[in-house]
Amino acid sequence: MTYRVCFVCTGNICRSPMAEIVFRARVAEAGLAGLVEVDSAGTGGWHEGEGADPRTETVLRENGYEAGHTARQFDPSWFARLDLVVALDSGHLRALRRMAPTEQDADKVRLLRSYDPAAGDDLDVPDPYYGGADGFDECLEMVEAASTGLLAAVREQVEGQAA
């Protein structure tokens, strides 16, 4: 059975595609590519059909990740097929929980940085869109740091499904 994870930010051109690409690489490195499906979306549809922000693409390539993405808007009907919806900041968390058709669906929504024990109380990944390249570097660092804990949590779920 496939475990499905969707990362969600505002427009699906900066943070969530970065998280999707990084986490997909972690899943592949862990040998779970056939068991875990990873994608991303935005709470809004402003950039639907566009590629990722060029600065996102640059920081990913500079750090050895495959780039390539097409933005899309999150649809509440997706909750039915998703196992985990990962919000990039607390605003996305609230918006996604409001969209959730059921309480069970709302319980599927988690903040990405909640998987990083070093994050402390600040669980938001700041939006780098209006800043410079350093914001995209910082975003990648946060995504990578949280991906380790997220992978452990997903591995536990996948192994639980297989048992």
User: pLDDT per residue over 41-85, tens digit each?
Assistant: 999 999 999 999 999 999 999 999 998 999 999 999 999 999 999
In 3-state terms, what secondary structure has residue 3? strand
pLDDT of residue 161 exceeding 90, the answer is no
> 100 with 108: CB under 8 angstroms?
yes
pLDDT of residue 22 exceeding 80, the answer is yes
What is the Cα–Cα distance from 57 to 77, expressed in whole angstroms?
Answer: 29
Q: How many helices (H) and strands (E) does the chain have?
A: 5, 4
Look up the pTM and report it. 0.97
**Of the listed 15, 26, 55, 110, which one is catalytic?**
15
Establish whether 134 is a catalytic residue: no
Establish whether 9 is a catalytic residue: yes
| CA-based torsion, 17, 23, 29, 31: positive or negative | negative
**Beta strand spans in 31-158 (E):** 36-42, 84-87, 109-111
Please, what is the average pLDDT of the chain?
96
**Of the listed 6, 9, 14, 139, which one is catalytic?**
9
User: pLDDT per residue over 136-154, tens digit each?
Assistant: 999 999 999 999 999 999 9
Total domain count for the chain?
A: 1
**Predicted confidence band of residue 90 (pLDDT cuts 50, 70, 90):** very high
Establish whether 4 is a catalytic residue: no
CATH number assigned to the domain comprising residue 87: 3.40.50.2300
**Of the listed 4, 72, 97, 127, which one is catalytic?**
127
Structural domain for 54, as ranges: 3-162
